[in-house]
Amino acid sequence: MKAIAIRKYGGPEVVEYTDLPDPKVGPDSVLVRVKAAGINPVDWKVREGYLDGLMDVHFPLIMGWDLAGVVMAVGGAVTEFSPGDEVIGYVRKDAVEHGTYAELVSAPVRTLALKPAALDWAQAGGLPLAGLAAHQCLGGAMRLKAGESVLIHGAAGGVGCLAVQLAVARGARVIGTAGERNHAFLRSLGAEPVAYGDGLVDRVRELAQGGVDAALDLVGGGEPLEVSAQLVADPSRLVSIADYGVVARGGRYVFVRPDAAGLAELAALADEGRLRVPVASTFPLSQAASAQALNAEGRTRGKIVLLVD
Protein backbone atom coordinates (compact mmCIF):
# COMPACT_ATOMS: atom_id res chain seq x y z
CA MET A 1 0.00 0.00 0.00
CA LYS A 2 0.98 3.64 -0.38
CA ALA A 3 1.65 5.54 2.85
CA ILE A 4 3.34 8.63 4.27
CA ALA A 5 6.16 7.55 6.56
CA ILE A 6 9.30 8.80 8.26
CA ARG A 7 12.42 6.79 9.10
CA LYS A 8 13.91 9.37 11.47
CA TYR A 9 12.86 12.58 13.19
CA GLY A 10 13.20 15.86 11.33
CA GLY A 11 11.52 18.53 9.23
CA PRO A 12 9.44 18.13 6.07
CA GLU A 13 12.46 16.69 4.28
CA VAL A 14 12.15 13.37 6.18
CA VAL A 15 8.59 12.75 4.95
CA GLU A 16 8.37 9.92 2.39
CA TYR A 17 5.53 8.89 0.09
CA THR A 18 6.36 5.21 -0.09
CA ASP A 19 5.20 1.60 -0.38
CA LEU A 20 4.78 -0.38 2.86
CA PRO A 21 3.20 -3.77 3.64
CA ASP A 22 -0.55 -3.89 4.15
CA PRO A 23 -1.43 -3.89 7.87
CA LYS A 24 -2.41 -7.01 9.80
CA VAL A 25 -5.93 -7.04 11.25
CA GLY A 26 -6.19 -8.11 14.89
CA PRO A 27 -9.19 -9.86 16.45
CA ASP A 28 -10.69 -6.62 17.76
CA SER A 29 -9.77 -4.43 14.80
CA VAL A 30 -11.09 -3.69 11.32
CA LEU A 31 -9.30 -2.95 8.07
CA VAL A 32 -10.26 0.48 6.77
CA ARG A 33 -9.65 1.76 3.25
CA VAL A 34 -8.92 5.40 3.98
CA LYS A 35 -10.74 8.11 2.05
CA ALA A 36 -9.49 11.10 4.07
CA ALA A 37 -7.07 11.78 6.93
CA GLY A 38 -7.10 14.95 8.98
CA ILE A 39 -3.93 16.96 9.55
CA ASN A 40 -3.31 18.00 13.17
CA PRO A 41 -0.49 19.92 14.89
CA VAL A 42 0.46 16.79 16.84
CA ASP A 43 1.38 15.13 13.53
CA TRP A 44 4.30 17.41 12.75
CA LYS A 45 5.25 17.44 16.43
CA VAL A 46 5.53 13.64 16.28
CA ARG A 47 7.61 14.03 13.10
CA GLU A 48 10.06 16.32 14.88
CA GLY A 49 10.36 14.06 17.94
CA TYR A 50 8.50 16.17 20.49
CA LEU A 51 6.52 13.17 21.78
CA ASP A 52 9.48 10.82 22.00
CA GLY A 53 9.64 11.13 25.79
CA LEU A 54 5.95 10.28 26.17
CA MET A 55 5.24 7.42 23.77
CA ASP A 56 7.04 4.42 22.30
CA VAL A 57 7.92 5.14 18.68
CA HIS A 58 8.93 2.63 16.00
CA PHE A 59 10.37 3.38 12.56
CA PRO A 60 9.39 3.42 9.77
CA LEU A 61 6.56 5.45 11.27
CA ILE A 62 3.33 6.08 9.38
CA MET A 63 2.01 9.42 10.59
CA GLY A 64 -1.53 10.52 11.37
CA TRP A 65 -4.28 9.69 13.88
CA ASP A 66 -7.47 10.81 12.05
CA LEU A 67 -9.34 8.93 9.36
CA ALA A 68 -12.58 8.53 7.47
CA GLY A 69 -13.04 5.52 5.26
CA VAL A 70 -14.74 2.25 4.42
CA VAL A 71 -14.44 -1.02 6.35
CA MET A 72 -12.94 -3.70 4.10
CA ALA A 73 -12.60 -6.59 6.57
CA VAL A 74 -13.20 -7.25 10.27
CA GLY A 75 -11.31 -9.19 12.93
CA GLY A 76 -12.68 -12.44 14.27
CA ALA A 77 -14.10 -10.91 17.48
CA VAL A 78 -15.64 -7.81 15.89
CA THR A 79 -19.43 -7.43 16.05
CA GLU A 80 -19.67 -3.62 15.90
CA PHE A 81 -18.89 -3.17 12.19
CA SER A 82 -19.26 -5.00 8.89
CA PRO A 83 -17.50 -4.72 5.53
CA GLY A 84 -18.90 -1.75 3.63
CA ASP A 85 -19.57 0.38 6.70
CA GLU A 86 -18.40 3.99 6.41
CA VAL A 87 -16.52 5.01 9.56
CA ILE A 88 -14.57 7.79 11.22
CA GLY A 89 -11.78 7.24 13.71
CA TYR A 90 -9.29 8.80 16.07
CA VAL A 91 -6.86 5.91 15.70
CA ARG A 92 -4.27 6.66 18.37
CA LYS A 93 -2.66 3.44 19.54
CA ASP A 94 -0.37 2.78 22.50
CA ALA A 95 2.75 3.06 20.32
CA VAL A 96 3.35 5.45 17.44
CA GLU A 97 4.00 3.48 14.26
CA HIS A 98 0.92 2.51 12.26
CA GLY A 99 -0.87 5.79 11.59
CA THR A 100 -3.60 6.93 9.24
CA TYR A 101 -1.70 8.66 6.41
CA ALA A 102 -2.09 5.50 4.34
CA GLU A 103 -4.35 3.70 1.91
CA LEU A 104 -5.14 1.01 4.49
CA VAL A 105 -5.31 1.17 8.28
CA SER A 106 -5.96 -1.50 10.90
CA ALA A 107 -8.12 0.32 13.47
CA PRO A 108 -9.24 -1.02 16.88
CA VAL A 109 -13.02 -0.83 17.23
CA ARG A 110 -12.58 1.32 20.36
CA THR A 111 -11.31 4.13 18.10
CA LEU A 112 -14.17 4.14 15.56
CA ALA A 113 -17.76 5.24 14.99
CA LEU A 114 -20.04 5.27 11.97
CA LYS A 115 -19.45 8.22 9.64
CA PRO A 116 -22.12 10.94 9.78
CA ALA A 117 -24.05 10.95 6.50
CA ALA A 118 -24.23 14.75 6.53
CA LEU A 119 -20.45 15.14 6.11
CA ASP A 120 -18.45 14.48 2.95
CA TRP A 121 -15.20 12.54 3.16
CA ALA A 122 -12.97 15.58 3.72
CA GLN A 123 -15.20 16.95 6.48
CA ALA A 124 -15.49 13.54 8.12
CA GLY A 125 -11.72 13.04 7.99
CA GLY A 126 -11.18 16.35 9.78
CA LEU A 127 -13.60 15.66 12.62
CA PRO A 128 -12.26 12.94 14.96
CA LEU A 129 -9.25 14.33 16.86
CA ALA A 130 -10.33 17.97 16.85
CA GLY A 131 -13.94 17.13 17.61
CA LEU A 132 -13.06 14.83 20.49
CA ALA A 133 -10.60 17.39 21.88
CA ALA A 134 -13.33 20.03 21.98
CA HIS A 135 -15.87 17.53 23.34
CA GLN A 136 -13.60 16.33 26.16
CA CYS A 137 -12.51 19.85 27.11
CA LEU A 138 -16.00 21.31 27.32
CA GLY A 139 -17.62 18.26 28.88
CA GLY A 140 -15.57 16.22 31.30
CA ALA A 141 -12.83 18.78 31.99
CA MET A 142 -14.76 22.07 32.04
CA ARG A 143 -18.26 20.83 32.92
CA LEU A 144 -19.81 23.55 30.76
CA LYS A 145 -23.55 23.94 31.22
CA ALA A 146 -26.40 25.76 29.52
CA GLY A 147 -26.59 29.43 30.44
CA GLU A 148 -22.87 29.72 31.23
CA SER A 149 -20.25 31.72 29.36
CA VAL A 150 -16.95 30.46 27.98
CA LEU A 151 -13.94 32.24 26.48
CA ILE A 152 -12.25 30.22 23.73
CA HIS A 153 -8.73 31.26 22.71
CA GLY A 154 -7.99 30.43 19.07
CA ALA A 155 -11.66 30.02 18.25
CA ALA A 156 -11.29 29.95 14.45
CA GLY A 157 -8.75 27.12 14.30
CA GLY A 158 -9.29 23.42 13.72
CA VAL A 159 -10.31 22.62 17.31
CA GLY A 160 -11.64 26.09 18.05
CA CYS A 161 -14.32 26.20 15.37
CA LEU A 162 -15.67 22.86 16.61
CA ALA A 163 -15.45 23.91 20.28
CA VAL A 164 -17.52 27.02 19.49
CA GLN A 165 -20.28 24.93 17.93
CA LEU A 166 -20.27 22.34 20.70
CA ALA A 167 -20.48 25.06 23.36
CA VAL A 168 -23.37 26.69 21.49
CA ALA A 169 -25.07 23.28 21.25
CA ARG A 170 -24.78 23.05 25.05
CA GLY A 171 -26.61 26.35 25.37
CA ALA A 172 -23.56 28.36 26.44
CA ARG A 173 -22.57 31.88 25.51
CA VAL A 174 -19.29 31.84 23.57
CA ILE A 175 -16.71 34.61 23.32
CA GLY A 176 -13.89 33.67 20.95
CA THR A 177 -10.52 35.24 20.17
CA ALA A 178 -9.44 35.48 16.54
CA GLY A 179 -7.89 37.83 14.03
CA GLU A 180 -10.18 40.43 12.50
CA ARG A 181 -10.48 38.50 9.23
CA ASN A 182 -12.14 35.61 11.11
CA HIS A 183 -14.70 37.61 13.09
CA ALA A 184 -17.55 37.17 10.61
CA PHE A 185 -16.76 33.46 10.48
CA LEU A 186 -17.05 33.17 14.27
CA ARG A 187 -20.34 35.05 14.27
CA SER A 188 -21.65 32.55 11.72
CA LEU A 189 -20.87 29.79 14.22
CA GLY A 190 -22.67 31.55 17.05
CA ALA A 191 -19.72 33.16 18.87
CA GLU A 192 -19.01 36.77 19.84
CA PRO A 193 -15.53 37.52 18.44
CA VAL A 194 -12.83 39.60 20.10
CA ALA A 195 -9.36 40.45 18.82
CA TYR A 196 -6.48 38.87 20.70
CA GLY A 197 -3.47 40.84 21.92
CA ASP A 198 -3.00 43.73 24.34
CA GLY A 199 -6.19 44.82 26.08
CA LEU A 200 -7.94 41.47 25.69
CA VAL A 201 -9.15 41.41 29.30
CA ASP A 202 -10.86 44.76 28.84
CA ARG A 203 -12.43 43.74 25.53
CA VAL A 204 -13.89 40.60 27.09
CA ARG A 205 -15.22 42.57 30.07
CA GLU A 206 -16.97 44.94 27.67
CA LEU A 207 -19.00 41.91 26.57
CA ALA A 208 -19.17 40.09 29.93
CA GLN A 209 -18.80 42.60 32.74
CA GLY A 210 -18.31 40.03 35.48
CA GLY A 211 -15.94 37.87 33.48
CA VAL A 212 -16.73 34.40 32.14
CA ASP A 213 -17.56 31.10 33.80
CA ALA A 214 -14.85 29.10 32.01
CA ALA A 215 -12.00 29.46 29.53
CA LEU A 216 -10.42 27.14 26.95
CA ASP A 217 -6.84 27.69 25.77
CA LEU A 218 -6.14 26.25 22.32
CA VAL A 219 -3.13 28.49 21.65
CA GLY A 220 -0.50 28.03 24.37
CA GLY A 221 2.41 30.33 25.05
CA GLY A 222 1.28 31.50 28.48
CA GLU A 223 -0.68 34.63 27.57
CA PRO A 224 -4.09 32.94 27.19
CA LEU A 225 -3.79 31.51 30.71
CA GLU A 226 -2.71 34.89 32.11
CA VAL A 227 -5.76 36.52 30.54
CA SER A 228 -8.13 33.72 31.52
CA ALA A 229 -7.02 33.77 35.15
CA GLN A 230 -8.22 37.38 35.37
CA LEU A 231 -11.62 36.52 33.90
CA VAL A 232 -12.54 33.18 35.50
CA ALA A 233 -13.38 33.05 39.22
CA ASP A 234 -12.91 29.29 39.60
CA PRO A 235 -9.44 28.22 38.40
CA SER A 236 -10.58 24.59 38.04
CA ARG A 237 -12.54 25.75 35.00
CA LEU A 238 -9.44 26.82 33.11
CA VAL A 239 -8.73 24.14 30.49
CA SER A 240 -5.90 23.87 27.96
CA ILE A 241 -4.78 21.45 25.28
CA ALA A 242 -1.72 23.59 24.53
CA ASP A 243 -0.10 24.55 27.85
CA TYR A 244 0.55 22.09 30.69
CA GLY A 245 1.15 25.11 32.92
CA VAL A 246 -2.63 25.25 33.36
CA VAL A 247 -2.25 22.53 36.01
CA ALA A 248 -0.10 24.79 38.21
CA ARG A 249 -2.96 27.30 38.12
CA GLY A 250 -5.43 24.71 39.37
CA GLY A 251 -6.89 24.03 35.91
CA ARG A 252 -7.08 20.97 33.66
CA TYR A 253 -4.78 19.84 30.85
CA VAL A 254 -6.41 17.64 28.21
CA PHE A 255 -4.63 15.23 25.86
CA VAL A 256 -7.47 13.86 23.78
CA ARG A 257 -8.31 10.16 24.21
CA PRO A 258 -9.89 7.76 21.73
CA ASP A 259 -13.60 7.50 22.56
CA ALA A 260 -16.04 5.64 20.33
CA ALA A 261 -19.08 6.92 22.23
CA GLY A 262 -17.84 10.51 21.96
CA LEU A 263 -17.31 10.11 18.22
CA ALA A 264 -20.87 8.79 17.89
CA GLU A 265 -22.18 11.87 19.73
CA LEU A 266 -20.26 14.15 17.37
CA ALA A 267 -21.59 12.25 14.36
CA ALA A 268 -25.16 12.61 15.66
CA LEU A 269 -24.73 16.38 16.07
CA ALA A 270 -23.41 16.60 12.51
CA ASP A 271 -26.37 14.65 11.16
CA GLU A 272 -28.73 16.93 13.11
CA GLY A 273 -27.16 19.95 11.41
CA ARG A 274 -25.74 21.30 14.67
CA LEU A 275 -22.06 20.67 13.89
CA ARG A 276 -20.21 21.39 10.67
CA VAL A 277 -16.54 20.88 9.90
CA PRO A 278 -15.06 23.82 7.99
CA VAL A 279 -12.33 22.53 5.66
CA ALA A 280 -9.69 25.12 4.85
CA SER A 281 -7.89 23.08 2.20
CA THR A 282 -7.28 19.56 0.97
CA PHE A 283 -4.13 17.88 -0.34
CA PRO A 284 -3.51 14.51 -2.01
CA LEU A 285 -1.80 11.95 0.22
CA SER A 286 1.46 12.39 -1.66
CA GLN A 287 1.63 16.06 -0.57
CA ALA A 288 1.40 15.42 3.16
CA ALA A 289 4.59 17.38 3.86
CA SER A 290 3.10 20.52 2.27
CA ALA A 291 -0.12 20.03 4.23
CA GLN A 292 1.82 19.75 7.50
CA ALA A 293 3.83 22.87 6.67
CA LEU A 294 0.62 24.84 6.17
CA ASN A 295 -0.79 23.48 9.43
CA ALA A 296 2.37 24.45 11.31
CA GLU A 297 1.90 28.09 10.33
CA GLY A 298 -1.03 28.16 12.77
CA ARG A 299 -3.19 30.61 10.82
CA THR A 300 -5.65 28.22 9.20
CA ARG A 301 -9.41 28.66 9.54
CA GLY A 302 -10.84 25.19 10.07
CA LYS A 303 -9.21 21.90 9.07
CA ILE A 304 -6.58 20.75 6.58
CA VAL A 305 -7.27 17.27 5.21
CA LEU A 306 -5.46 14.68 3.10
CA LEU A 307 -7.56 12.94 0.45
CA VAL A 308 -6.57 9.35 -0.30
CA ASP A 309 -7.40 8.09 -3.80
Assess whether pLDDT exceeds 90 at residue 169: yes
If asked whether residues 115 and 134 sit together in one domain, one would say: no
CA 122 to chain centre: 14
In a domain, 260, yes or no: no
In a domain, 119, yes or no: yes
If asked whether residues 123 and 136 sit together in one domain, one would say: no
Residues 38, 305 contacting (CB under 8 angstroms): yes
d(CA 36, CA 81): 19
Assess whether pLDDT exceeds 90 at residue 300: no
If asked whether residues 198 and 149 sit together in one domain, one would say: yes
Per-residue pLDDT tens over the stretch 82-105: 999 999 999 999 999 999 999 999
Q: What pLDDT is stored for residue 308 in this prediction?
A: 97
If asked whether residues 92 and 190 sit together in one domain, one would say: no
In a domain, 163, yes or no: yes
Rounded (5°) CA angle 21-26-31: 60
If asked whether residues 216 and 115 sit together in one domain, one would say: no
In a domain, 160, yes or no: yes
User: Domain holding 18: CATH number?
Assistant: 3.90.180.10
If asked whether residues 77 and 180 sit together in one domain, one would say: no
Q: What are phi and psi of 29, to 5 degrees?
A: -125, 165
In a domain, 71, yes or no: yes
Q: What pLDDT is stored for residue 207 in this prediction?
A: 98
Buried b (16+ CB within 10 A) or exposed e, 29-60: bbbbbbbbbbbbbbbbebbeeeeeeeeeeeee
Q: What pLDDT is stored for residue 109 in this prediction?
A: 98
Amino acid at 183: H
If asked whether residues 17 and 110 sit together in one domain, one would say: yes
Amino acid at 199: G
In a domain, 259, yes or no: no
Assess whether pLDDT exceeds 90 at residue 298: no
Residues 120, 35 contacting (CB under 8 angstroms): no
If asked whether residues 138 and 123 sit together in one domain, one would say: no
Domain residues for 69? Answer: 2-127+277-307
In a domain, 140, yes or no: yes
If asked whether residues 301 and 220 sit together in one domain, one would say: no
If asked whether residues 140 and 247 sit together in one domain, one would say: yes
In a domain, 271, yes or no: no
Per-residue pLDDT tens over the stretch 23-32: 999 999 999 9
Residues 292, 158 contacting (CB under 8 angstroms): no
d(CA 86, CA 301): 26
For the four alpha carbons of 234, 239, 240 and 245, in that order, the dihedral sign comes to positive
If asked whether residues 54 and 171 sit together in one domain, one would say: no
Number of structural domains, the chain? Answer: 2
If asked whether residues 104 and 181 sit together in one domain, one would say: no
Average pLDDT over residues 279-299: 95
Confidence of residue 299 (pLDDT cuts 50, 70, 90): confident
Q: What pLDDT is stored for residue 159 in this prediction?
A: 97
